[in-house]
Amino acid sequence: MNKKSCPVCGSEEIIEKKKTISISEPFVGQDNIEVFENICYSCKSRGDFFNQNESLLEETIKELKQKSVKRILEYFIDKKISMSSIERALEMPQRSLTKWKNNSSKASSAGIALLRFIRLFPWLLEVAENKYDFKMAQKIQINDSINKLHTQKSVAGWIEEFNYGPREYPKIDAAETFLTVDLITEDSESTVISKENNIEEELLIAS
């Protein structure tokens, strides 16, 4: 008869118990599963001595990944971004996202990673639509950051509001800010310095 023993020290003084662990995936939350845990009294090793959990773990991760793909695509539909426009921007075969959503074909690991990135940074779609042009990509990213900064209150803003009540935030025109960004990124260092000098001169005249 085969007696169960510890794979580390070979002792037969082992116990087996079940414990619940949670597995999480981005954009879908977590799932709780029950796994086996073996503990050796002799060497105090703790683990899955007989490879009982591996397949369950892999299966759960796979399922959660498919769920997360579905959630991400549903998010885009809610935001009125059609799947065909995403496929066009990313130069993916048409209807591949629909197939992923309906589980008629499974998204590859690379596909899942791509979906996660565009879910986190939807402006990447705009970057793709502009053929990954570096300057345009920078502009799109900065525009997005400015809009975020504008819509989200800073910590200082929260404190101010707590002390003095709500306050109106001035609206920033992202296009105007772009002009400034263009000046900084496109001008050479010397022209930027000369512009700074001009500003200083103007300030002196004004004072």
Residue 187 contacts another protein per CB under 8 A:
no
- In angstroms, rounded to a whole number, what is the distance separating the alpha carbons of residues 114 and 199? 45
CA 99, 103, 108, 111: dihedral to nearest 10 degrees?
50
Q: How deeply is 18 buried, as exposed, middle or buried, from its count of CB atoms within 10 A (0-12, 13-18, 19+)?
A: exposed
Helix, coil or strand: residue 16: strand
To another protein, the closest distance from the beta carbon of 92 in angstroms equals 25
Q: Binding another protein by CB under 8 A: which of 33, 57, 92, 146?
A: 57
- In angstroms, rounded to a whole number, what is the distance separating the alpha carbons of residues 19 and 12? 21
For residue 91, which amino acid is it?
E
Q: Which is nearer to another protein, 64 or 73 (CB)?
A: 64
Residues within window 61-80 making contact with another protein, judged by CB under 8 A: 61
Q: Which is nearer to another protein, 2 or 207 (CB)?
A: 2
Residue 114 contacts another protein per CB under 8 A:
no
For β-strands 29-40 and 14-25, DSSP reports them as antiparallel
Distances, alpha carbon 99 to alpha carbons 73, 80, 95, 190, 194, in Å: 11, 19, 6, 54, 57
Candidate ranges 49-57, 80-88, 94-102, 110-118; the one touching another protein (CB under 8 A)? 49-57
Residue 4 contacts another protein per CB under 8 A:
no
Residue 157 contacts another protein per CB under 8 A:
no
Q: Binding another protein by CB under 8 A: which of 2, 20, 51, 104?
A: 51
Residue 23 contacts another protein per CB under 8 A:
yes
Q: Binding another protein by CB under 8 A: which of 4, 11, 157, 200?
A: 11
Q: Binding another protein by CB under 8 A: which of 29, 34, 46, 135?
A: 46
Candidate ranges 9-17, 69-77, 106-114, 133-141; the one touching another protein (CB under 8 A)? 9-17
Distances, alpha carbon 51 to alpha carbons 64, 76, 143, in Å: 21, 39, 51
- In angstroms, rounded to a whole number, what is the distance separating the alpha carbons of residues 164 and 53? 57
Footprint on this chain of another protein (rule: CB under 8 A): 7-11, 23, 37, 42-49, 51, 54, 57-58, 61
